[in-house]
Amino acid sequence: MKKAAVCTIGDEILIGQIIDTNSSHIAQSLNEIGIRVATMVSIGDERKEIMGKLEELLKTNDLVITTGGLGPTKDDITKHALGELFGSTGQYEHTEQAEIVRELLVRRGVPLFESNLAQAYVPTGCEVLVNRLGTAPGLVFRFPATRFSHQPTLYSLPGVPFEALGLLPAVMKDICQHQALEPIYHKTWATFGIAESTLAEMIAAWEDHLPQDTKLAYLPNTLNGVRLRLSCYGDTAEHAAERLEAEFEKIRPILGTALYGKDQDTLPGVLAKELKAKGVSVCTAESCTCGRVAHLLGSIPGASDYLMGATIAYSNAVKINDLKVPATLIEQEGAVSQACVEAMAQGAMEKYGTTYAVATSGIAGPGGGSPEKPVGLVWIAVATRLQNGGSRVVSKSFSFGGDRERNMERFAANALNLLRLELLNAR
Amino acid sequence: MKKAAVCTIGDEILIGQIIDTNSSHIAQSLNEIGIRVATMVSIGDERKEIMGKLEELLKTNDLVITTGGLGPTKDDITKHALGELFGSTGQYEHTEQAEIVRELLVRRGVPLFESNLAQAYVPTGCEVLVNRLGTAPGLVFRFPATRFSHQPTLYSLPGVPFEALGLLPAVMKDICQHQALEPIYHKTWATFGIAESTLAEMIAAWEDHLPQDTKLAYLPNTLNGVRLRLSCYGDTAEHAAERLEAEFEKIRPILGTALYGKDQDTLPGVLAKELKAKGVSVCTAESCTCGRVAHLLGSIPGASDYLMGATIAYSNAVKINDLKVPATLIEQEGAVSQACVEAMAQGAMEKYGTTYAVATSGIAGPGGGSPEKPVGLVWIAVATRLQNGGSRVVSKSFSFGGDRERNMERFAANALNLLRLELLNAR
């Protein structure tokens, strides 16, 4: 199995100014094509340190991928260090990248400083991955066997996350073309509503009997639930797909309606597709989630096809005036109650004239909790307009506890999931 | 200056399943007490690798802080590796942590498995930082001069972010007590509305004349603008505070109203404080931001004091029916227009009876753009109820471009900033 190291270059990571997200995405991509990431390292913008560390990583890895240290300021000395390490005799202007640099600067209204134009200069002997999203290109250094005992390749990418991610497919393609990789195949299924530990117990018997070359990974996420990724090695793509699918069929009945998608599916994405396919519409009435449910529904391009509107009913006055929740109901049951959240959903559905309405009312914290209604408690309701002109409302409560931001995320994700289950029912 | 290394242990980082946020927070804290982080490393759950890498880091650093690898599963072999590295003769149960483990498990309804109870066992000879938020304690290994040529200290923290962060103050306190640190003092100011590069040019003359021992850092963030952090070394706290304040007074007039806070202030936090102090209320009417402005305003505890409600007016029908935007206005000017967004703000202020209303209408992308109104264009308006019963509306447009998620963040942050500027005007 090929071995890789991922290295970020830049003081901004070491002083904790920036959280490094690039390394994780790169590791994920390498993992998917069957390359093991042996280590990740962050180092500062210091020529000697860069050269020393990269030399060390190249000695013990087949691949080294760096991000950062390619900007136009004088601090960014990576490119020169890389050239020296590789034995380049100098730098030359890369025509295609230079054109992109000029275009980008003109569009941004930035003067054509020499430091910016220098971005398109590359060390001799390396290959270039043109960067259309920014000024600094990706660089590929293929070290000859005379330099190290093996022939490692070093990829240097810009540090700006969307530029690094933009170049990642080209890097992966290049790796697949140049390395003799044992083929690896993956299949991912997305579930929501079952905790990771419970899920693990539910499918333990199946997991224990997986073939040796087939591996399962749990990928949990607050917003999108737990993904199950099944991987197997060394086979034809078709055969592997069949095998993975067959294994999956064994646990599908256990997962039941918790299963909502596969591969890159997200909960909002699946909902958006379903809502569009059905030609139905939705609105939200949100108290504790404060717009987060609508925001998630609206995060998918084309959301205006199905998302009609949302009312953030933080105050009881809005619940009463806008959503027609009876004042006496709030007095008797409280705003965080099954009755109130159901009335909110009903009211929102009427108000916006939608097919579905999602409502939330809970205590996100840190204040506002009581022994009967502690921080972390939420009531969620989904109203559905029926074909016969009537309507139905389902509701559910959850008790999480924990901090405000996390509660709001969990509340919103579970509200989306309840909507998903209602859409399933309507099939 | 003391040198530190931060090391995460765990395969979940190396396969890209988890983004490492711990290292960044640890680096920030170390930086604040004047310790330089020389490197960050991630390694897998492999005994030999852990021992080899930690030995290497201890040789060249005064401090090594690790996170992860302390969980109850059999993969987590860090604690044993640490004990062996340190020369511990065995493990014993730490009474206080053991009690916490039992309490936590009972509260979570988890059976008292041996693997869980083993969490409270610690290698002999190390010191313990009790973890009240989880089962695995923090461990402090003070290596004697006989082991390395210097006397490095290794701190081992659990990997779960809120547990690691929970133990961080104790780690920093321990470091300050045991290391002879040159005192460092910081002062941070928060600005919004000026790009980092422009800001750098505006204060370049001042920055060039800063005393040798005073350093400026730019900390940019989409939601909270650019923070300026000024740091100086080796002086009394009072004298340093005076010096930093004096330096700051020189640029305050240049920053003008872009300056909104200091230290840990955030844009939503400052707004919340201001709204509460003034006893005024606010609502939002959001198209392209889809609830994000309300969500940010609502992210502060006690938001129900000032946030009355929000209407997410994704569809023109909602703009017309709920916010009383004239249908002819939308026909003539379009939904993304100055006239429409001003009418939305006015309509929302009337509807919710608030002192202020924030409205947004723009094209977040990727679809919906045109040559006249490209993706990334947003109109933002703030309506203010005046003392004399009248009202005023201000509006502003921005053109960003870029991806949907980033546009929505920028739109929302700029909407908050426009509200902040209006609140300033009302002083």
**What was the pLDDT predicted at B339?**
97
The torsion angles phi and psi of B45, rounded to 5 degrees, stand at -80, 65
Please tell me which of the candidates B15, B292, B367 has its beta carbon nearest to residue A27: B15
Collect all residues of chain B within an 8 Å Cβ-Cβ radius of residue A366.
Answer: 301
Q: Are strands B63-67 and B153-157 parallel, antiparallel or unpaired?
A: parallel
**Nearest-5° Cα angle at A269, A266 to A271:** 110
Helix spans in B10-123 (H): 11-14, 22-32, 47-60, 78-86, 95-108, 114-117
What three-state secondary structure class fits B275?
helix
What is the mean pLDDT of the segment spanning A178-185?
Answer: 86
Taking only residues 346 to 365 of chain A, the set having a beta carbon closer than 8 angstroms to any beta carbon of chain B reads: 352, 365
What is the mean pLDDT of the segment spanning B368-381?
Answer: 89
Please tell me which of the candidates A43, A302, A318 has its beta carbon nearest to residue B352: A318
Say if residue A162's pLDDT is above 60.
Answer: yes
**Contact (Cβ atoms closer than 8 angstroms) between residue A29 and residue A10:** no
- Range scoring the smallest mean pLDDT among A71-80, A186-195, B85-94, B143-152: A71-80
Say if residue B261's pLDDT is above 70.
Answer: yes
Query: Do the Cβ atoms of B299 and A322 come within 8 Å?
Result: no
Query: Do the Cβ atoms of B15 and A28 come within 8 Å?
Result: yes
Query: Do the Cβ atoms of A310 and B310 come within 8 Å?
Result: yes
Collect all residues of chain A within an 8 Å Cβ-Cβ radius of residue B43.
Answer: 39
**What was the pLDDT predicted at A300?**
87
**What was the pLDDT predicted at A73?**
66
Task: Give the relative orientation of helices B161-178 and B22-32 as an angle to the nearest 10 degrees.
Answer: 20
What is the mean pLDDT of the segment spanning A130-149?
Answer: 93
Please tell me which of the candidates B294, B315, B408 has its beta carbon nearest to residue A309: B315
Say if residue B182's pLDDT is above 90.
Answer: no
The domains of chain A are located at 3-178, 184-262, 267-425
B216 or B274: which leads in pLDDT: B274
CA of A260 vs chain B CAs: smallest distance (Å): 20
B171 residue type, one letter = V
Taking only residues 82 to 121 of chain B, the set having a beta carbon closer than 8 angstroms to any beta carbon of chain A reads: none
Q: Which residues contact B383 (CB under 8 A, 6 or more apart)?
A: B342, B345, B346, B348, B349, B356, B357, B359, B391, B392, B393
What is the mean pLDDT of the segment spanning B47-58?
Answer: 95
Mean pLDDT of chain A: 91
Give the span between the Cα atoms of A249 and A263, in whole angstroms: 15
Please tell me which of the candidates A26, A303, A309 has its beta carbon nearest to residue B311: A309
Query: Do the Cβ atoms of A312 and B291 come within 8 Å?
Result: yes
Query: Do the Cβ atoms of A25 and B16 come within 8 Å?
Result: yes
Element (H, E) at A92: strand A91-93
What is the mean pLDDT of the segment spanning B393-412?
Answer: 87
The verdict on A198 touching B (C-beta cutoff 8 Å) is: no
Collect all residues of chain A within an 8 Å Cβ-Cβ radius of residue B304.
Answer: 314-315
B121 or B72: which leads in pLDDT: B121
Please tell me which of the candidates B20, B28, B293 has its beta carbon nearest to residue A20: B20
- Range scoring the smallest mean pLDDT among A336-340, B50-54, B206-210: B206-210
Query: Do the Cβ atoms of B290 and A298 come within 8 Å?
Result: yes
Give the span between the Cα atoms of A294 and B298, in whole angstroms: 14
B348 residue type, one letter = A
Please tell me the pTM assigned to this model: 0.79
**What was the pLDDT predicted at A11?**
85
What is the mean pLDDT of the segment spanning B125-132?
Answer: 96
What is the mean pLDDT of the segment spanning A305-316?
Answer: 90
The verdict on A72 touching B (C-beta cutoff 8 Å) is: no
The torsion angles phi and psi of A23, rounded to 5 degrees, stand at -60, -40
Query: Do the Cβ atoms of A290 and B303 come within 8 Å?
Result: yes
A366 or A168: which leads in pLDDT: A168
B42 or B235: which leads in pLDDT: B42
C-alpha closest to that of A288 among A193, A397, A391, A394: A397
Query: Do the Cβ atoms of B311 and A314 come within 8 Å?
Result: no
Most confident residue range from A8-12, B4-8, B199-203, B302-306: B4-8
**What was the pLDDT predicted at B276?**
95
Say if residue A427's pLDDT is above 60.
Answer: no
Element (H, E) at A282: strand A282-286
Using left for φ > 0, alpha for ψ between -120 and 50, and beta otherwise, residue B177 falls in alpha
Query: Do the Cβ atoms of A404 and B298 come within 8 Å?
Result: no
The count of CB pairs under 8 A between chains A and B is: 203
Give the confidence band of B128 by pLDDT, cuts at 50, 70, 90. Answer: very high
Say if residue B76's pLDDT is above 80.
Answer: no
Give the span between the Cα atoms of B317 and B407, in whole angstroms: 24
Quick: pLDDT tens for A201-240. 889 899 889 988 888 888 778 889 988 989 887 778 888 8
Q: Regarding the domain delimited by B184-262, which CATH topology (the fold level of the hierarchy) does it fall under?
A: Alpha-Beta Plaits (3.30.70)
Mean pLDDT of chain B: 91
A374 or B271: which leads in pLDDT: B271
Say if residue A401's pLDDT is above 70.
Answer: no
Collect all residues of chain A within an 8 Å Cβ-Cβ radius of residue B17.
Answer: 28, 217, 219
Please tell me which of the candidates B53, B217, B309 has its beta carbon nearest to residue A314: B309
Say if residue B74's pLDDT is above 60.
Answer: no
Give the span between the Cα atoms of A29 and A233, in whole angstroms: 16
From residue A323, how far is each of A286, A350, B288, B311, B350 by CA, in Å? 11, 8, 23, 12, 17
CA of B145 vs chain A CAs: smallest distance (Å): 27
As its CATH architecture, domain A3-178 has 3-Layer(aba) Sandwich (3.40)
Peptide bond into A326 cis (omega under 30): no
CA of A229 vs chain B CAs: smallest distance (Å): 11
**What was the pLDDT predicted at A70?**
84
DSSP string, B186-226: EEEEEE-SS-HHHHHHHTHHHHHTS-TTEEEEEEEETTTEE
Query: Do the Cβ atoms of A15 and B28 come within 8 Å?
Result: yes
Please tell me which of the candidates B17, B27, B365 has its beta carbon nearest to residue A219: B17
Give the confidence band of B110 by pLDDT, cuts at 50, 70, 90. Answer: low
CATH code, residues B267-425 = 3.90.950.20
Neighbours of A42 (CB within 10 A): 29
Collect all residues of chain B within an 8 Å Cβ-Cβ radius of residue A73.
Answer: none
> For A168-256, where are the E strands, in sequence order?
184-191, 214-221, 225-233
The verdict on A226 touching B (C-beta cutoff 8 Å) is: no
Please tell me which of the candidates A162, A219, A295 has its beta carbon nearest to residue B290: A295
C-alpha closest to that of A160 among A97, A46, A67: A67
Identify the DSSP state of A109: T
Q: Which residue of A231, A296, A314, A411 is the best one to mutate when testing the B interface, meaning the one whose CB has the most B CBs within 10 A?
A: A314
